[in-house]
Amino acid sequence: MWRPWSKSSVKIHKTYSPTASFKDIHRLCKDDSSSSSPSLSRVFHRVYAANSILRSWPTRPSNHLIRLDSEPVTPRHNQEPEDVIRISLPGAESSIVVYFTSLRVVRPTFEDCRAVTTILHTFPVRIDERDLSMDASFAAELERIFAGKKDLPRVFIGGRYVGGAEEVRQLHEIGELKKLVQELPRVERGVCEMCGGYRFVPCDDCNGSHKVYTEKLGFRTCSTCNVSGLVRCWSCSYSRLKPSS
């Protein structure tokens, strides 16, 4: 017959206690000096007691069991979800980047783009407006970011993707959009004297023809501008806006 549990000399802690440690397990599993071959009941009792001690330890974020041959693990807080989309463009961390279209071909898309840009222009921050109808390279950027999807508009604040038209409207209504924008540096906004607010100017190399001529090669495609012979305005694009004091 197995020895009754009540006669055991080992106390099983139901709650966390400093005495319930690996020393207790080591003592339970240590060979009994009084007996060269412990009985089956004693072995079973030791296993049961060891499991009870392990279960009594609470699961705490600060208690990490680290291997001796492993590097120390530093807990990281405020981590972003893995599905957060970010972009790496010049000045994106300190501005709003919006992909949109100014074409009226698809009216619902045009209305969404106009509504979003109108909301964003109420904030005194730098806005990098990337109009897909003005430059095809913006469409290629959008395809790389969203794996081929080109739904418009798309808004990034501080380099982090916020959402489309519906998300921006909801954030604006509940006041969360203002909180996101407040983290960006303020700028003095106004109509650019060089491009008149169109954000593009004719290319100086080809005078807007998208063709250049050399005596050796003859006419060739201009590599400076887009297919429309336009380049982004150097006065109001990228980091040209001066922060306000």
CA 151 to chain centre: 20
Each residue of 149-171: pLDDT tens digit?
Answer: 778 999 999 999 999 999 999 99
pLDDT at 61: 45
Angstrom CA distances, 125 to 5, 117, 132, 242, stand at 73, 13, 22, 10
Which helix (H) or strand (E) element contains residue 211?
strand 211-214
**Residue ranges of the chain whose pLDDT lies below 70:** 1-83, 238-245
pTM of the predicted protein model: 0.61
Q: Which residue has the tokens 């508009």?
A: 153
Q: Which residue has the tokens 């972009």?
A: 87
- The backbone torsions φ and ψ at residue 6, rounded to the nearest 5 degrees and listed phi first, read -65, -20
